[in-house]
Amino acid sequence: MASDARSSSIGDPRTHLRALGGAFVVVALVVLLASIAVSLAYPLIDAAGIARESALGLALRSAFQFVGFGVAGVGYLVVTDQSDLVPVRRPTRGDLKWLGIGFAALLALYVGSSALLSALGYQGADSVIAQQGSGQPVYFLYLIPVTMLLVGPAEELIFRGIVQGLFRRAYGTRVAIVAASAIFAAVHLSSYSGDGLFVTLGTILVLGGTLGVIYEKSENLVVPAVVHGLFNTVQFVGLYATTTGILG
Mean pLDDT comparison of 5-14, 115-124, 204-213, highest-scoring range: 204-213
Mean pLDDT, range 107-127, rounded to an integer: 91
Q: What share of the chain is helix, strand, coil (3-state, %, to 5)?
A: 80, 0, 15
Mean pLDDT, range 115-125, rounded to an integer: 88
Report the half-sphere exposure of 64 (CA within 13 A, side-chain side): 18
Reported in sequence order, the residue ranges of the chain that DSSP labels E, i.e. its strands, are: 126-127, 192-193
Full-model pTM: 0.93
pLDDT of residue 121: 87
Which tens digits make up the pLDDT trace of 200-211? 999 999 999 999
Long-range contacts of 236-245 (CB under 8 A, 24+ apart): 236/140, 236/141, 236/143, 236/144, 236/147, 237/140, 237/144, 239/129, 239/130, 239/133, 239/137, 239/140, 240/133, 240/137, 240/138, 240/140, 240/141, 243/133, 243/134, 243/137, 243/140, 244/137
Which tens digits make up the pLDDT trace of 161-174? 999 999 999 999 99
Q: Where are the domains of the chain?
A: 2-244
Is 193 in a helix, a strand, or coil? strand
Which tens digits make up the pLDDT trace of 37-96? 999 999 999 999 999 999 999 999 999 999 999 999 999 999 999 999 999 999 999 999
Give yes or no for residue 123 having a pLDDT over 70.
yes
pLDDT of residue 12: 73
pLDDT of residue 2: 42
Q: Is residue 31 very low, low, confident or very high in pLDDT (cuts 50, 70, 90)? A: very high
- CA torsion 67-148-107-206 (nearest 10°) is -20
CA-CA distance, 18 to 11, in Å (whole number)? 13
CA angle 217, 31, 174 (to 5 degrees): 25
Give yes or no for residue 115 having a pLDDT over 50.
yes
